[in-house]
Amino acid sequence: MEIKISFPGGKKVNAEINGMVIKTDQPVKYGGEGSAPSPFEHFLASVGTCAGIFILGFCTERKIPAENISLVERLEYGRREDGKPFLEKIVLEILVPPDFPEKYYNALIKVADQCAVKKAIMNPPEFEVKTVVQ
């Protein structure tokens, strides 16, 4: 797979994947226009949306309506010894309606744990960055 990164202007950086464009921008306080989520916000959203697609598939297979199910992703930050904050924990809460079958509560958690983004974080890849003359 190849993802092409481009710089359309200002603090915007876009990623093109399979003919689709993911737009990013920086918040106004960092010199951007705030016209799109920042790259880090996209990364964080990918955790919740990845878990969500697994939950949606689980419900679809069982003919359980998913319209009233949602996820809330909460971020917990800690502080390093030098005082700088760091992302310490990501908590996903799966919100189900009162009529959701209780027998599937734990199954939803197991299904959400199948998220490929979470698995990549838990077993991080190597990174190689290089400059190539075109």
How far apart are the C-alpha atoms of 104 and 59, rounded to whole Å? 10
Per the prediction, the chain carries an average pLDDT of: 97
Indicate whether 89 belongs to any domain: yes
pTM of the model: 0.88
Three-state secondary structure call for residue 57? helix
Indicate whether 2 belongs to any domain: no
Indicate whether 59 belongs to any domain: yes
52, burial (CB in 10 Å: exposed 0-12, middle 13-18, buried 19+): buried
pLDDT digits (tens, 9 = 90+) for 33-86: 999 999 999 999 999 999 999 999 999 999 999 999 999 999 999 999 999 999
How far apart are the C-alpha atoms of 11 and 36, rounded to whole Å? 10
Nearest in space to 47 (alpha carbons), one of 83, 100, 93: 93
Indicate whether 99 belongs to any domain: yes
Number of domains in the chain: 1
What's residue 41's pLDDT? 97
**Is residue 69 within 8 Å of 95, Cβ to Cβ?**
yes
**Is residue 104 within 8 Å of 69, Cβ to Cβ?**
no
Q: Tell me the residue range of the domain where 108 lies.
A: 37-122
Domain with 51 in it: what CATH number? 3.30.300.20
Indicate whether 24 belongs to any domain: no
Q: Which amino acid is at 99?
A: D
Provide the β-strand partners of residue 77: 87
What's residue 20's pLDDT? 97
